[in-house]
Chain A
Amino acid sequence: MDKILFVAQTECDGSLSKASLEALTAAKTLAEQLGAPLAVGLVGEAVQAAADSLAGCGAEAVYGVSGPDFAQPRYATDAAALAALFGATGAGIVIGAATPRMSRVLPGAAARVGGVSDTSVTALAASGGKPVVTRWYYRQRMYAELTRKERPWFVSVSSGCFAAYAGAAGSASVTAVSAEIPGGVRTQVTGMICPSAEEQTIRPDAALLFVAGAGWTKKQADGAAHAGEAEEIILSFLNKTQGSLGTSKSLVDLSGEGQQVLSFLSHMHQVGQTGSTPRHPKGLATCCHGEEPHVVGWRFIGERRAVNLDPNCGWAQGKADVLYVADAFEVMRKVLALLP
């Protein structure tokens, strides 16, 4: 029988991220369905606090790789830690969250120990006594259900697909595991470059995704473009709602070509075929146009509404719950006036 190992790296404060707690739910549920033992493997400068927070999760053992070398999110140390945790537990299936830190390292750790991996799975359950995962292909254009015979099988779970584990905390006994770092540590993380609170427009945990399309930069009824006003409206709306901003490829590309567009947009805002596919409970798309390749950007948005001037727009028809055929400038000005 496969032992299931849940793995996570601790945050700066020693806690576990919401995405990791969601992955724990996935691992715990799969273990229960398969009747398999569950173990926990933690990586960080110190892991006791995180282990204590999971004390009630039903794991038969908790393992930890800790120390100053493992505080920084970098490949060399994180891969060594995951490989060591696998070695200590002999797990058949290793499950972690698809966070940037874990995604950087999980497939490589699987390769190091002779295993395989499937990343960013959106569902994970036992079927016919076998673990089966669901993941998306061709940039969210299609999805597959699959299983594997090969072991160890490393799996990362997309955020927003499982409820975060919220069991009781307690006192956990952590078995310390030492990790060999082949080649030593040649990378130093020197810092994080984060947008200031005023400039923060990408908020993965926001309740709302606001998608700004290229229409914001086009000539309006008076024959002129109003990019400056568009910026003001969009930023004010995001500040008031604390929403997250996404945009279509065309708008991002226009900004890369030096045209006067929306100054705060970067490729990191891009959603769709060549961008991200974020998960938020609600999405409001404005001035967006396009067909399937672009629309995949809000495939995983719960409730969707759109404002644009074309009632037949492929972005909205059949994709949105409500399409308001109206001028987005006028609508959003009024929305701003109504918002507290």
Chain B
Amino acid sequence: MSAGYHIVVCGGIVPDPLQTLEPVQGPAGWGLKNELMLPAILDPWAGHALFEAANLAKNVPGSKVWLVSMGPKAKLQQVMMTIAQKVPFELVVLDGPASGFADAHETGAALAEAIAAIPGLDTSRLLVFGGWQSASRGAGATMQVIGEKLGIFEQFQGVDKLEILADGALRVLERVEGGSYQDSVVSGAPAVFGWATGELPEPPNNPQVGMQNMRLVMPALQKAKPVKLEKGPEYSGVQIPSQKRETRVVKDAPVDQIAKEIVDWLSA
């Protein structure tokens, strides 16, 4: 692929998983208590997708990476201050909800529309990356919807490895049952890849990359297209599981006794 790939990474933002999350119902529907106050991060699996995209672009000359993200502008700006330090990309912003309770199909359709509108995007060279699930909705649906809306029918989910073969075909390893991988070869772009963990660690901060990205991040935030999602499920309730177990604490017991108790329990 001498001309390189056009890699579009779809990545939403989610609350920092270390925060306490509590559902609340507001005028606009279900959300999280103090949602706008919670520190946000780029969705972890989308982050892996972004790092893999940047690595692929680095290794295939002529490639370019866009990050398409939908969320409240202020939260996106906060997250971009961190993510923009990691790898080069051009940001495309949709000013809309990042809530897990937003509908995956509406979200996917909005993202697909934004991707199709990217100036200069060559769909014959297009690879759409994203997380195979989000840490918010966790539906594992948005990437498939984006692919369908863009007319891309080569799709892969739970991807941990993508390799460019000598003939330009792409070898893909997808997670399947029992810790196994499905090994597939697709003839080339366009294709959709929902990434699991991938193989790359999080890149260190690079101030030069950060400065280069931030030149484009602020304008992208300023011209963010507002998106309103109006359909979606009718929630009859959202709850935190309240089940608390009565834990029997066994202290100062001889190891032999503990081991026997465990073995008896295992074989019961």
The contact size tier of chain B is 35 or more
Stretch at the interface among B72-80, B101-109, B209-217: B101-109
Nearest CB of chain A from residue B27's CB, rounded to whole Å: 18
Residues of B within 8 A of A112 (CB): 148
With A111-B108, A111-B145 as known contacts, state yes or no: A146 contacts B234, CB within 8 Å.
Answer: yes
Q: Is the CB of A145 within 8 A of B237?
A: yes
Residues of B within 8 A of A274 (CB): 17, 44-45, 135
* In-complex Cβ contact of A144 among B14, B237, B259 (8 A): B237
Residues in A95-113 with C-beta less than 8 Å from chain B: 99-101, 103-105, 107-108, 110-112
Q: Is the CB of B233 within 8 A of A146?
A: yes
Residues of B within 8 A of A208 (CB): 266
CA distance A182 to B150 in the complex (A): 13
Nearest CB of chain A from residue B194's CB, rounded to whole Å: 8
Q: Is the CB of A293 within 8 A of B18?
A: yes
Q: Is the CB of B174 within 8 A of A100?
A: yes
* In-complex Cβ contact of B201 among A103, A256, A331 (8 A): A256
Stretch at the interface among B63-71, B218-226, B239-247: B239-247
Residues in B106-165 with C-beta less than 8 Å from chain A: 108, 135-142, 144-145, 147-149, 151, 153-158, 160
For B147, B153, B201, B237, the residue with the greatest tally of chain A CB atoms inside 10 Å of its CB is B153
Per-residue CB contact flags for chain B residues 183-194 toward chain A (1 = under 8 Å, else 0) read: 111111000000
* In-complex Cβ contact of A323 among B17, B155, B249, B266 (8 A): B249
Whether a CB of chain B sits under 8 angstroms from the CB of A194 is: yes
With A192-B180, A335-B262 as known contacts, state yes or no: A79 contacts B153, CB within 8 Å.
Answer: yes
CA distance A111 to B150 in the complex (A): 11
Whether a CB of chain B sits under 8 angstroms from the CB of A147 is: yes
Q: Is the CB of B135 within 8 A of A139?
A: yes
Whether a CB of chain A sits under 8 angstroms from the CB of B57 is: no
Whether a CB of chain A sits under 8 angstroms from the CB of B166 is: no
Q: Is the CB of A103 within 8 A of B140?
A: yes
Q: Is the CB of B245 within 8 A of A318?
A: yes
CB nearest to B147 among chain A residues: A108
CA distance A206 to B30 in the complex (A): 36
Residues in B228-260 with C-beta less than 8 Å from chain A: 231, 233-241, 244-253, 255-256, 258-260
Per-residue CB contact flags for chain A residues 283-327 toward chain B (1 = under 8 Å, else 0) read: 010000000110000010001110100010000111111111111
Q: Is the CB of B178 within 8 A of A146?
A: no
With A104-B155, A318-B244 as known contacts, state yes or no: A111 contacts B149, CB within 8 Å.
Answer: yes
Whether a CB of chain A sits under 8 angstroms from the CB of B204 is: no
Q: Is the CB of A138 within 8 A of B136?
A: yes
Nearest CB of chain B from residue A50's CB, rounded to whole Å: 18
Whether a CB of chain B sits under 8 angstroms from the CB of A16 is: no
Residues of A within 8 A of B235 (CB): 144-146
Q: Is the CB of A192 within 8 A of B135?
A: no
**Which label, helix, strand, loop or mixed, suits the secondary structure of the B interface?**
mixed
Q: Is the CB of B250 within 8 A of A324?
A: yes
Nearest CB of chain B from residue A331's CB, rounded to whole Å: 5
With A103-B140, A119-B141, A267-B196 as known contacts, state yes or no: A325 contacts B249, CB within 8 Å.
Answer: yes
CB nearest to A273 among chain B residues: B17
Residues of B within 8 A of A144 (CB): 23, 30, 101, 233, 235, 237-239
Sample 29 A-B pairs with CB under 8 A, ordered by A number.
A100-B158, A107-B105, A108-B145, A117-B104, A136-B138, A137-B101, A137-B138, A138-B14, A139-B17, A182-B153, A188-B184, A190-B183, A193-B183, A195-B180, A200-B178, A256-B201, A273-B135, A307-B258, A307-B262, A311-B249, A316-B247, A320-B247, A322-B247, A324-B258, A324-B261, A324-B262, A326-B250, A335-B263, A339-B263
* Other A-B pairs beyond A144-B30, A334-B255, 20, CB < 8 Å: A76-B154, A104-B157, A132-B236, A138-B15, A138-B32, A142-B23, A149-B234, A187-B184, A189-B182, A193-B183, A194-B178, A267-B160, A274-B17, A317-B249, A318-B245, A323-B249, A324-B258, A331-B258, A334-B258, A338-B260
Contacts from A to B (Cβ < 8 Å): 73-76, 79, 99-101, 103-105, 107-108, 110-112, 116-120, 127, 132, 136-150, 181-183, 186-195, 200-204, 208, 241, 256-257, 266-270, 273-274, 282, 284, 292-293, 299, 303-305, 307, 311, 316-327, 330-332, 334-335, 337-339
Closest 7 CB pairs of A and B: A202-B179, A108-B144, A107-B141, A334-B259, A267-B197, A146-B233, A75-B155
Contacts from B to A (Cβ < 8 Å): 14-15, 17-18, 20-21, 23, 30, 32, 44-45, 100-101, 103-105, 108, 135-142, 144-145, 147-149, 151, 153-158, 160, 171, 173-188, 196-197, 201, 231, 233-241, 244-253, 255-256, 258-263, 265-266
